[in-house]
Structure 1
């Protein structure tokens, strides 16, 4: 990609607390959308579709924040949501949903319909508090998924363990430049990074303890 090329989608983390997610339809990607949505701190997750697959129904049953409405979505439904995901095979309905989203200023992720998208869905990797997002801006979603699977297979659980420890350490220290420098110096520690890659938790603990003693 040349230096003059500009990406069309800026990857940014959306704070989901106190917000409502609306998922319309039950298509090929709905199950993954639901599974990912459940990992985030949405206040409510509404799934509106006349029918659900057994797998999606099972996911809904496991989360008290999820509410299934067995009907077609309405303009009022869209007006009350903060973020909308559309995964239907009905192109006329998809066009109608996109128009409602534009009317009420609701960001929309429309599965396999780039022309309607305000948001592009990312392939996500979870390692404790670390979330790695991969996006092609809707241009090569299959390649994004392939890269996610490759990284998932090669990122050890040591990253999750170290991230949990660092999150706890960060909360225990007063804010300011000293804390910032301590944490930056820790991640420059080659022994710590090697231990993370190898998921060597004893060495991870040792390197953390030694860093804390230097405070």
Structure 2
């Protein structure tokens, strides 16, 4: 069973082994969080050309030296045996590993997600139905559109101001709850810096 957790990956070294569509999709997930990753493969699909300045591409076959110093590893080759080798090594050395064709060997999965600034909504079926996760993600994208990025930012600013200016804990809680009843325009009018 998987435990939901958000990782601060700023200082983590991340490597993806594989240069196909799945590896590309995993790579794009990390780039959505402004994280540069290292990608190892003998061949890369064309889409990697478009992002080559945002990642470190190494044209080579898998070797342990490429994952030795990394903490997060994605095994996304088209070779089940190589993926198993990567997963086994990572588990032995306490690394986070996602083996795309072996959820039992993986110790983390990447859920479908919607990211709107600091708002992060994620959906997982524990690997049982990625297509259901994708469908729910698409539904969430419609409900929580791009405006939520600014909305969450304003809520954060308002929260800081209330905490700074309200000493009484009960009053503070009341004001924080009332924030969610304000319209977006009213919130912007009162708390926009």
Common fold by TM > 0.5: yes
Separation of aligned partners in 2, 1:118 and 1:149: 26
* Aligned 8 A contact 2:15 2:38 in 1: yes
Which residue of the partner structure matches residue 114 of structure 2?
125
TM-score (norm 2): 0.86
3-state DSSP of counterpart to 1:133: strand
Does residue 14 (structure 1) correspond to residue 7 (structure 2)? The answer is yes
Is 1:79–1:106's contact at 8 Å kept on the other side of the alignment? no
Separation in structure 1 between the aligned mates of residue 122 and residue 107 of structure 2, nearest angstrom: 17
Q: CA deviation at 1:95?
A: 1.3
The CA RMSD over aligned residues, in Å, is: 2.3
**Cα offset, 1:19, TM superposition:** 0.8
* Cα shift at 1:179: 5.5
Partner of 2:18: 25
- Aligned pairs, how many? 188
**1:7-31 deviation digits (Å, cap 9, x = unpaired):** x111100111211111110233222
Question: How far did residue 181 of structure 1 move?
Answer: 5.0
Partner of 1:5: none
Separation in 2, partners of 1:152, 1:163:
15
After TM superposition, the score normalised by the length of structure 1 is 0.78
For residues 185-196 of structure 1, what are the structure 2 equivalents within 5 Å?
185-187=178-180, 189=181, 191-192=182-183, 195=184
Q: 2:127: which partner in 1?
A: 138
Gaps of 5+ in 2: none
